[in-house]
Amino acid sequence: MLTLENLTVKRGTLTVADRINLTLEAGKVYTVLGPNGAGKSSLMKTVFGDIPYTGRIRYRSDTLGETRLQSWRKRIGYMPQDTAVEASLTALEVVLLGRMDALHMHVGDDLLAEAAETMRQLGTAHLAHRDIMRLSGGQRQMVMFAQVLLRRPEILLLDEPVSALDMHHQLNLLEHVCRHTREQGLVTLMVLHDLSLAAQFSDGLILLGDGKIQGCGTPAEVLQADVVGRLYDIRVELLYDSCGAPVIRPMRQAV
């Protein structure tokens, strides 16, 4: 269980997270939503240990700030928005970097097989020997996700993991996130901009605005037309898909 207690984050004079309290359970996927500047990425970076804060962040019996940062991060698979790789490496080599702690002059057959299987599950096995610099943005995104999974994390932090992907690969990646979270008992926290995708693939939603939680609960509880419309300053229509998941449809201004 990952808990945030009275978490406050300031960037200069700006408060980007204001007394946030959250309890995130293992085996569940939580998605942070909100307009640009709401504090979503700052929240992820803070949990990773990149940004100073007040309050407490705890995972099981450990508290960030009281545990060595290296030990804290060893449990986390963090995929930030910017996943650029400035090196001429093959996609497989980039994936293997997820286990730098286990890498030596010779890569063992077991680790190589695990990396290849992870890429196969994500549909990127055909990219294994391609130069990462020559891949599309979406392909690189999938390779970086494979690298994160190879770390065997206990906590997944995914900041806009599907931003560069087409619909097919969005669904593939998010299905894998859900499956891996449940099978491995992970705590997964991700940021998405697509509210309807978040509704399909999340156990819980966290709606941020002005650094504060504006809504927290199941997709049906959080995605209310009046709340979403007010937060994003637009008109929205609330629909439901064939599985009963809420769908948020932005409405253009009357002309």
What pLDDT score was predicted for residue 15? 87
Same domain, 129 and 164: no
72 CB-contact burial (10 Å; exposed 0-12 / middle 13-18 / buried 19+): buried
What pLDDT score was predicted for residue 90? 92
Handedness of CA 226, 231, 236, 242 (dihedral sign): negative
Q: Which domain holds residue 122?
A: 85-152
Averaged pLDDT, 163-183: 91
Same domain, 70 and 169: yes
Confidence of residue 210 (pLDDT cuts 50, 70, 90): confident
Averaged pLDDT, 136-160: 91
Place of tokens 């970097």: 97
Handedness of CA 214, 14, 202, 223 (dihedral sign): positive
What pLDDT score was predicted for residue 161? 92
Same domain, 138 and 37: no
Same domain, 71 and 158: yes
What pLDDT score was predicted for residue 45? 94
Residue that is last in its domain, among 113, 130, 152: 152
Residue 93 lies in a domain: yes
Share of the chain above pLDDT 70, in %: 95
pLDDT, tens digit (0-9, with 9 covering 90-100), for 67-81: 899 899 999 999 998
Averaged pLDDT, 37-51: 91
Report the half-sphere exposure of 80 (CA within 13 A, side-chain side): 13
Same domain, 48 and 7: yes
Residue 236 lies in a domain: no
pLDDT, tens digit (0-9, with 9 covering 90-100), for 89-119: 899 989 998 887 655 556 678 888 989 999 9
Residue 160 lies in a domain: yes
Residue 7 lies in a domain: yes
Residue 113 lies in a domain: yes
What pLDDT score was predicted for residue 127? 93
Instruction: Using DSSP, state whether 152 is helix, strand or coil.
Output: coil
Residue in 217, 170, 158, 173 with CA at minimum distance from that of residue 194: 170
Residue 225 lies in a domain: no
- Which CATH number is 25's domain given? 3.40.50.300
Based on the structure, what is the number of domains in the chain?
2
Confidence of residue 254 (pLDDT cuts 50, 70, 90): low
Residue 176 lies in a domain: yes
Say whether pLDDT at 64 is over 70: yes
What pLDDT score was predicted for residue 102? 53
Same domain, 50 and 162: yes
Say whether pLDDT at 224 is over 80: yes
Same domain, 64 and 2: yes
Say whether pLDDT at 187 is over 90: yes
Bridging pattern class, strands 2-11 and 14-24: antiparallel
Same domain, 56 and 96: no
Q: Which two tokens stand for residue 53?
A: 């804060």
What pLDDT score was predicted for residue 37? 84
φ, ψ of residue 22 to 5 degrees: the values are -145, 145
Same domain, 69 and 27: yes
What pLDDT score was predicted for residue 112? 87
Mean pLDDT of the chain: 90
Same domain, 130 and 146: yes
What pLDDT score was predicted for residue 81? 80
Confidence of residue 84 (pLDDT cuts 50, 70, 90): low
Residue that is last in its domain, among 103, 126, 152: 152
Residue 11 lies in a domain: yes
**More confident site: 101 or 124:** 124
Same domain, 19 and 131: no
Same domain, 158 and 56: yes
Residue in 87, 85, 17 with CA at minimum distance from that of residue 57: 17
